[in-house]
Structures are given as structure tokens and as C-alpha cells.
Chains A and B, each alone.
Chain A
């Protein structure tokens, strides 16, 4: 999914640890309830979390060590054979590469364009609500609608994209059929579709910035560019960290629009690792092997998240 998890889910689970830890260090000053009474309140969540997250995670890890099949009942323990196979499977590496490539070419514009859109709206353009609606509207569309629209835009023969090129005397482009172009086409669609969410995050941040600095700088004779560069953007650093983090995680999870648009083609050039997991596990019945590939991907996501945390922490 390139739709983003509800704001805060990523951040909140990420931060629950340290915050809870801090709470323990300061003790329960001022609370008269017995320690641990809060457990009752979080128990329903914990139960659901354990049942639908922790248990399947453990189950998947176990499955990845077996030759579990969707079509057979008996399974055998195979140790690390699935992992060994995955390491030697060129399709795993090419699909992981595709996922990483997509993450890079989609995340960068999704952050930058969202920031530019937010700044433009924030400068007080006329027709605020119209701009906001226009920028955010695509995000409200379901993936099937978005892909349907863009399938027709990218149509090789009668699609708007090639028609436009034609009016400028340029030859048609195989938007979804040229191996060198297809992933860029999907990234473009994704930017159009989801930039609105990051735009909203940025806009909210901009509107909550104190205006004092900006006014003081203006009095001191700083021009608009200078104020943007030295006052506004530095204050947005934390938002940028959040947006970038959420975006990278969302982009790594890309599956649905690619699956609908190209099924991973042409020649596997747009097949993300999640689609490979789906193909191997659900179409090819090899649940054990698919789980192993999932866990390799999981490891990659953890590494990326840790690196990002490091980077942004240093910035703060």
C-alpha cells in the first residue's frame, strides 16, 4: 500500500517505548492507583494485538522454517533451506531492488512536492479551500479508481499521455510496457495520488508555526526567500523527519497499484518484493518459502527504519 497508515500509528508505537520508560523512572507521583491498574485499560488492545499481530508474526517465522504449502496439510521442518533458496533466488533480489528503487523515486518527490504545495497554499493564495481540496482530493480515491484512470492515461495507442507527446511531434512512449519507463510511470501515478496526505501534514505544521520569528526577520529586512530558507524550513525539520519516515515506510509497502496496473511487468521490471511474496505464496502455494522472503523483507524494513531514526535523531 502506498496509502499511509493512519497518522501517528507508526510514530506512536515507535515512541511508546521511551515514553513509558520515562514514566517509570519518575515513578507514579500523584497517582493513587496501584501500579499496573492501567493494564486493564490496555488489555483489550493487547489481546487483539497479540492475536492478530504477535501470533501471526511468530507463526510466519515458524512457517518460514518449514515446507508449508497452501494445498497440503502435512508440513516438514526444513531449517534454513527456504532462506538459503531465497538468497540464491535472482527473483528475490530483483524484486527487492525494484521495491528499493520505487521507494527512492517516489519518496523524494512525495516529500518535496508536498512541501512546495503546502508553502504555496500557506503564502495565502486566493481560494484557499479550492487549493486544499485540489491537492488533497486524489488521496481520497481508492486504488482501483486511480489505476483505472492512469491505465487510460498511459494507454499506448489512445492514451492522453502519448496524444500530448504527439501534438509536440514526439513519438509515443511505452509508459507501462517499456522496462526502463514503467516504474517511473508508477511513481508518477503514486505521487499524484498520495502527495495530498504529506501536503496536509506540512500545511498543519506551517499553520502552527509561531509568526514572531518571521515578523522579526521581516523587520530586520530579510527578504521572502531568506525568511523561507532561514526561518521557515528549519522550523519544519521535525515535520520533514516525520513525513519522510512515514513516506519511506509506505513506499516500501508498495503492492496494490503495481499489481493492478502491470502485474509486475514488463519482464518483472516493476515487480515489488511484496508481489513476489504474493505470487510465490498465494499463486504458487509455497507458504513456507513466501514467509522466508517476507522475513528477509522485514529485516530490510527494520534496518531502513533504524537508519532513519538515527539520522533524524542526530538532526534534532
Chain B
């Protein structure tokens, strides 16, 4: 997931589970490669499996808190039975540093057998040989084929004709709303779902109606000092205009200035500080919604478990369409094979089998709010019964990810640089036009840099 610091929840590592092999929380990537070779010192639980156990598959991921526990459940499931896996899981901290560690371990050629990465980060990994491609024949043998995934998502797993990731989920930037407030504001249809928006004015009106219903604010959005949030919102709205945001190697960036200005101007109108506050940070928006001071909040779906605990009658919907076409900004977690200089064919086969088994477990993963990328799971009645998850499952069909470039993606400096002018514009410190021009300048500056991964 893409969590900023937790708000009301402290991230507690899940209790040790019997039968689950050890986990280590490594603070430093440099230690990781070494720790994988020696029996790691920090064992979270006393289990017979050890890190030096050659048969155990080493897996790296960045899932903590609720996500981490679900990942544990999934690993436990695939580890049971006669042909269960020996899994040696390492959890690292989410954020830019995760990708630093992953790159370092892969550059060293002694990486874990399987790791989790955002699909938006693949362009920085696959070209430089930091990842090894998947064998589609092997995956098919274990019951996973390209047809099992949404084309929009599968397209982002490929580089130079090979497949470098198997998507686990689609985690879009969506809206959560208070069903009672939305009902009072007259925004629910006959089936109790949020009515479609369809135009900028409609969303502005919805905000006013929600504000009247809550007696406080309408739509909450936290972006101050955040390094991803305003980019997520901009990217969703910009994609809805149908304009392309292309970052060709060497530059210059191909960005439709008029469309971008239209989007930022709308964001400024939506968050004008009266109906909808414009100066909230991530935790402030979260706290406001949990405290009933807003009828709707724009967040990543990964906050579902936290919001659900609050007892608010919670509804969810894909990010509202206000321009010409539906588009939802999203990212995807996928399984990757970090580069190994000398991979053991039997282990590689086992890694493929593991990845296939894990994506088939993604109904468990959906509990956290994530949309399973593996469509056979989406089609099950069990998934349809998940509320409010099934309300925004369509988001995967209109998914828009970061522009495919080595410096873009989750936790990247690019997102941070895009957020800075957007934040100034939302706070009213600069005009939409100036903000957009600065975004283009920043993108060009990044494009002028020599590519360190190819």
C-alpha cells in the first residue's frame, strides 16, 4: 500500500504465528543482503525455519500494519498442506528507501527470490537489469495467464517484450463518504450508492450539499506537506480530460498546458477554503472525516481498514468523473523477481509457483480495500459480497498509473516535485498557470538528467 504515517492506528507488527517462518524488520538495506546469507539475528518468532534454510523462499515486501497481517494470512495459507511453501518473509519500511534497498540488493545480484514492487516503479528497474523476467510458460503451468488481468494493468508489467511483474492488486485513489451525510445531501441513488457526478459543477454542488448535511465541511482532502496526495488528485483529473502526460527520455515533457491549467483551476475552486478546506494535511483530513467534520474524503483505498473501525456508516466510490472520460489514478503492487546473478532453476520454478499461489489468495488481500488484480478472484460471489470494496471495483478498468519513466512512480522524487507547485496553488499562494508551468519545468529538469538505470 501507499501509506503515509498512520493516523489513529499505531502500526503493530502482527503477533507471531506458529508455523510461519521467521520475519525480520530490517532497518538498513545494506544489512539485508548479509542477513539473508547468515542466519538473521532478529527473529520475530521462534520458528524452526531459519533464514539460512536453503529451501525457504525469501520474499521482501513493504506491508505493515493491517496489510502486513493479511499478507501473513496469505503466506500461512500457501504454506500449509503437503506442497506448502517454506517462506522467509522480510518486511521493510514503505517509502523511497524501500526502492533504494531493492535496487541495491538487485545490483548486488544476491537479492531475495521474490519481492513486491509498485508497477509504476518498473521503468526504473526492468531496463537496467535489476529485475529478471517471468517465464510465462511456467506461470501458465501454475494457472496464471495474461488474460487473467485487466489490459490497462498488464500493459504496465512489460518491458522490451518480456514480463517483469505479476500484479497482485490495483489500489486506486478513491472517495470515501459518510452514507448518512450523503443521504441527507440527496447524493445517493435508489440502491444506496453515490450518484455519478459527471461535471465540475456537479462535484462543487455535491460538496456544498455535503457541507450543509454535516454542518461543517463537505469534501476533505489532505495534501499539505504530503509528497503524493495532490499529484494523485491532479493525475486522476488530468487523465479525465483525455490529454496525454508523456515524459519521453531526454525531454522535453509533453504536457497539455491548457488541460493542466483547467484541472488545477478546478482543484482550486473545489478546495477554496469555504465549503471544502484547502489547508489540511493527510492526518488532518483523516481526523476531520473520522470526527464527522466532513461528508466525503479523497483518499487511497488502503485507508479502508482504519476508516471502517471508526463506526461511520462508510460508503466508497471510484474517484468522481468530472471531465470528459472516466479515469481513476491508481498504482498496483506486483510480485517481481529481483535480479540474481546465478539463479537456481528449481528455486526460480518455486518462485513462479509461489507468485501464482499468492495472486489466487487475493480475496484475503481485498479485505484491506485493495482490488485484486487477478480477475478470476474478482468474479467470485465472495468478492461481490465485500462492502464497500465492490463499490469501486470498476476503478481497475479505468486505471491510470504514473507516466512510465525511470524517475516516476510511487515514493519517487518526481511525485514530490509535482506536489510542491500543486500545494502552493491549492493554498492560494500561486496561480494555476504558474503552478502548471513550474510542473513542466520540474519534469523537464528531471528529463535532462542522465538516466542512471539504463
The interface of chain A, by Cβ under 8 A from chain B, is: 67, 69-73, 91, 148, 151, 155-158, 172, 174, 176-179, 261-268, 279, 282-286
B224→A71 contact, CB < 8 A: no
- Cα-based distance from A156 to B223 in the complex (angstroms): 11
Instruction: List 12 extra interface pairs beyond A155-B281, A158-B288, A265-B420, CB under 8 A.
Output: A70-B100, A72-B452, A91-B445, A174-B279, A177-B423, A177-B427, A265-B419, A266-B424, A267-B421, A267-B438, A283-B413, A285-B124
A268→B420 contact, CB < 8 A: yes
21 CB-based A-B contacts, threshold 8 Å: A69-B452, A71-B128, A71-B130, A71-B452, A156-B224, A158-B288, A174-B224, A174-B427, A178-B427, A178-B429, A179-B424, A179-B429, A265-B227, A265-B419, A265-B423, A266-B427, A267-B421, A283-B96, A283-B100, A286-B449, A286-B450
A157→B429 contact, CB < 8 A: no
List chain A residues, Cβ under 8 A from B453: 69, 71-72, 285
B residues 163-188 touching A (CB-CB < 8 Å): none
Quick check: is B265 within 8 A (CB to CB) of the other chain? no
A156→B284 contact, CB < 8 A: yes
A285→B103 contact, CB < 8 A: yes
Quick check: is B416 within 8 A (CB to CB) of the other chain? yes
- Cα-based distance from A199 to B186 in the complex (angstroms): 61
List chain A residues, Cβ under 8 A from B427: 174, 177-178, 266
Given B96, B130, B277, B420, which contacts A157 in the complex, CB threshold below 8 Å? B277
- Cα-based distance from A157 to B278 in the complex (angstroms): 10
List chain B residues, Cβ under 8 A from A158: 284, 287-288
List chain A residues, Cβ under 8 A from B452: 67, 69-72, 284-286
Quick check: is B280 within 8 A (CB to CB) of the other chain? yes
Shortest distance between the CB of B402 and any CB in chain A (Å)? 14
B284→A263 contact, CB < 8 A: no
List chain A residues, Cβ under 8 A from B5: 148
B residues 90-143 touching A (CB-CB < 8 Å): 96-97, 99-100, 103-104, 106-107, 124-125, 128-130
Closest to A90 in B: B445
Most A C-beta atoms less than 10 A away, residue of B107, B227, B452? B452
B287→A284 contact, CB < 8 A: no
Instruction: Tally A-B pairs: CB < 8 A.
Output: 105
Closest to B104 in A: A70
A156→B279 contact, CB < 8 A: yes
Quick check: is B431 within 8 A (CB to CB) of the other chain? no
B416→A71 contact, CB < 8 A: no
Closest to B108 in A: A73
- Cα-based distance from A316 to B449 in the complex (angstroms): 49
Shortest distance between the CB of B419 and any CB in chain A (Å)? 7
List chain B residues, Cβ under 8 A from A279: 413
- Cα-based distance from A73 to B283 in the complex (angstroms): 41
Closest to B279 in A: A156
- Cα-based distance from A81 to B281 in the complex (angstroms): 40
Closest to A278 in B: B96
Majority DSSP secondary structure for residues of A touching B: loop
List chain B residues, Cβ under 8 A from A172: 279
Quick check: is B225 within 8 A (CB to CB) of the other chain? yes
Shortest distance between the CB of B275 and any CB in chain A (Å)? 14
Quick check: is B354 within 8 A (CB to CB) of the other chain? no
Shortest distance between the CB of A87 and any CB in chain B (Å)? 15
Please encode chain B, from 417 to 440, with 1 for each CB lying within 8 Å of some chain A CB and 0 for all others. 001110110010100000000100
Shortest distance between the CB of B281 and any CB in chain A (Å)? 7
Which 9 pairs from chain A and chain B are nearest by CB?
A69-B452, A156-B279, A285-B452, A267-B420, A71-B453, A283-B96, A282-B100, A177-B224, A71-B103
- Cα-based distance from A267 to B423 in the complex (angstroms): 8
Given A72, A178, A284, which contacts B413 in the complex, CB threshold below 8 Å? A284
List chain A residues, Cβ under 8 A from B449: 284, 286
Quick check: is B407 within 8 A (CB to CB) of the other chain? yes
Quick check: is B412 within 8 A (CB to CB) of the other chain? yes
List chain B residues, Cβ under 8 A from A177: 224-225, 279, 423, 427
Shortest distance between the CB of B453 and any CB in chain A (Å)? 5
List chain B residues, Cβ under 8 A from A67: 450, 452
B413→A155 contact, CB < 8 A: no
B225→A71 contact, CB < 8 A: no
A73→B107 contact, CB < 8 A: yes
- Cα-based distance from A279 to B414 in the complex (angstroms): 10
List chain A residues, Cβ under 8 A from B419: 265
Most B C-beta atoms less than 10 A away, residue of A156, A157, A158, A176? A157
Please encode chain B, from 277 to 300, with 1 for each CB lying within 8 Å of some chain A CB and 0 for all others. 101110110011000000000000
Closest to A78 in B: B450
- Cα-based distance from A177 to B273 in the complex (angstroms): 15
Closest to A282 in B: B100
- Cα-based distance from A286 to B129 in the complex (angstroms): 16
Shortest distance between the CB of B417 and any CB in chain A (Å)? 8
Closest to B97 in A: A282
Shortest distance between the CB of B11 and any CB in chain A (Å)? 13
List chain A residues, Cβ under 8 A from B450: 67, 286
- Cα-based distance from A263 to B107 in the complex (angstroms): 27
List chain B residues, Cβ under 8 A from A151: 281, 283
A267→B424 contact, CB < 8 A: yes
List chain B residues, Cβ under 8 A from A91: 445
With A156-B280, A176-B225, A282-B96 as contacts: A263 and B416 at CB distance below 8 Å = yes
List chain A residues, Cβ under 8 A from B124: 71, 285
Shortest distance between the CB of A55 and any CB in chain B (Å)? 15
Closest to A270 in B: B225
List chain B residues, Cβ under 8 A from A267: 420-421, 423-424, 438
List chain B residues, Cβ under 8 A from A157: 277, 279-280, 284, 288
- Cα-based distance from A262 to B281 in the complex (angstroms): 11
B103→A284 contact, CB < 8 A: no
A263→B407 contact, CB < 8 A: no
List chain A residues, Cβ under 8 A from B279: 156-157, 172, 174, 177
- Cα-based distance from A179 to B224 in the complex (angstroms): 12
Shortest distance between the CB of A309 and any CB in chain B (Å)? 35
List chain A residues, Cβ under 8 A from B407: 284
Given A155, A174, A264, which contacts B284 in the complex, CB threshold below 8 Å? A155
Please encode chain B, from 70 to 108, with 1 for each CB lying within 8 Å of some chain A CB and 0 for all others. 000000000000000000000000001101100110110
Shortest distance between the CB of B197 and any CB in chain A (Å)? 25
List chain B residues, Cβ under 8 A from A156: 224, 279-281, 284
With A71-B103, A177-B423 as contacts: A283 and B412 at CB distance below 8 Å = yes
B residues 293-316 touching A (CB-CB < 8 Å): none
List chain A residues, Cβ under 8 A from B277: 157
List chain A residues, Cβ under 8 A from B429: 178-179
B residues 381-424 touching A (CB-CB < 8 Å): 407, 411-413, 416, 419-421, 423-424
